[in-house]
Amino acid sequence: MYGSKIVLISGPISSGKSSLASELAEHNFTVAKTSDFLKEEAESRDVDVSNRVAKQNLALSLDRETGGAWVARRVLNRFSEAVRQPMLGTADRSYAVLVVEGFRIPEQVRLVRQMASTPVLHVHVVADSEVLKQRYESRRLRQDINLTYEEAAGHPNEQKIDDLRNEADLVLDTGRTSIEDCKIRVLSRLGVYASPDIRCVDVIVGGQYGSEGKGHVAAYLSKEYDILVRVGGPNAGHKVKTAEHLYTYHQLPSGCRDHSTARVLIGPGAIVNPTNILKEISDCNLGPDRLVIDRNAMIISQDDIASEVKLVASISSTGQGVGAATARKILGRGEETTMLAEACPDLKPFVGDTQVELEQAYASGKKVLLEGTQGTGLSIHHGSYPHVTSRDTTVAGCLSEAGISPARVRRILLVVRTYPIRVANPSTGGTSGQLKREISFSDIAKRSGLDPKVLLETEKTSTTKRDRRVGEFEWDLFRLSCALNAPTDVVLTFADYLDAKNALAYRYEQLTVETQAFIEELERVAHAPVSLINTKFEYRSVIDRRNWH
Report, as an integer, the average pLDDT of 348-363.
93
Top-confidence residue, 210 or 159: 210
Side-chain half-sphere exposure of 527, counting CA atoms within 13 A: 7
Instruction: With beta carbons less than 8 A apart as the criterion, state whether 2 and 363 touch.
Output: yes
Evaluate if residue 90 carries a pLDDT over 60.
no
Concatenating the DSSP letter of every residue in 322-384 gives HHHHHHHHHHTTT-TT--BGGG-GGGGGGEE-HHHHHHHHHHTT--EEEE--S-GGG-TTTSS
Residue type, 184: I
Tell me what percent of the residues of the chain surpass a pLDDT of 90: 64
Nearest-angstrom CA–CA distance, 205 and 465: 22
Give 397's pLDDT tier (boundaries 50, 70, 90).
very high
Evaluate if residue 448 carries a pLDDT over 70.
yes
Terminal Cα-to-Cα distance of the chain (whole angstroms): 20
Report, as an integer, the average pLDDT of 533-548.
90
Evaluate if residue 89 carries a pLDDT over 50.
no
Calculate the average pLDDT of the chain. Answer: 90
pLDDT of residue 535: 95
Instruction: With beta carbons less than 8 A apart as the criterion, state whether 138 and 185 touch.
Output: no
User: How deeply is 180 buried, as exposed, middle or buried, from its count of CB atoms within 10 A (0-12, 13-18, 19+)?
Assistant: exposed
User: How deeply is 332 buried, as exposed, middle or buried, from its count of CB atoms within 10 A (0-12, 13-18, 19+)?
Assistant: middle
Evaluate if residue 289 carries a pLDDT over 70.
yes
pLDDT of residue 154: 87
Q: Nearest-CA neighbor of 440 among 452, 428, 429?
A: 452
Residue type, 183: K
SS3 letters for 229-286? Answer: EECCCCCCCEEEECCCCEEEECCCCCCCCCCCCCEEEECCCCEECHHHHHHHHHHCCC
**Residue 216 to residues 107, 192, 219: CA-CA distances in angstroms?**
60, 34, 5
Report, as an integer, the average pLDDT of 346-352.
95
Evaluate if residue 540 carries a pLDDT over 50.
yes
**Residue 221 to residues 224, 264, 291, 365, 507: CA-CA distances in angstroms?**
6, 14, 19, 18, 17
Instruction: With beta carbons less than 8 A apart as the criterion, state whether 69 and 110 touch.
Output: no
Evaluate if residue 266 carries a pLDDT over 60.
yes
**Residue 512 to residues 91, 499, 516: CA-CA distances in angstroms?**
43, 7, 6
Torsion (CA) 221, 226, 231, 237 in degrees, nearest 10:
40
Top-confidence residue, 19 or 243: 19
pLDDT of residue 433: 85
Q: Is 247 left (phi over 0), alpha (psi -120 to 50) or beta?
A: beta
Report, as an integer, the average pLDDT of 207-225.
94
pLDDT tens-digit map of 472-517: 999 999 999 999 999 999 999 999 999 999 999 999 999 999 999 9
Evaluate if residue 425 carries a pLDDT over 80.
no
Side-chain half-sphere exposure of 285, counting CA atoms within 13 A: 6
- 263-266 vs 542-544, strand pairing mode: unpaired
Instruction: With beta carbons less than 8 A apart as the criterion, state whether 204 and 409 touch.
Output: no
Report, as an integer, the average pLDDT of 324-349.
87
pLDDT of residue 98: 95
Evaluate if residue 429 carries a pLDDT over 70.
no
**Residue 406 to residues 367, 401, 403: CA-CA distances in angstroms?**
15, 12, 10
Q: Which residues contact 212 (CB under 8 A, 6 or more apart)?
A: 206, 375, 415, 416, 417, 420, 493
Nearest-angstrom CA–CA distance, 469 and 459: 9
Nearest-angstrom CA–CA distance, 239 and 384: 25
- 263-266 vs 291-294, strand pairing mode: parallel
Torsion (CA) 51, 55, 56, 59 in degrees, nearest 10:
180
- Asked, as a colleague might, if the bond just before 426 is cis with ω within 30 of 0, I would say no
**Residue 491 to residues 77, 473, 495: CA-CA distances in angstroms?**
52, 14, 11
Q: Which residues contact 217 (CB under 8 A, 6 or more apart)?
A: 204, 413, 415, 491, 493, 532, 534, 542
Residue type, 439: I
pLDDT of residue 313: 60
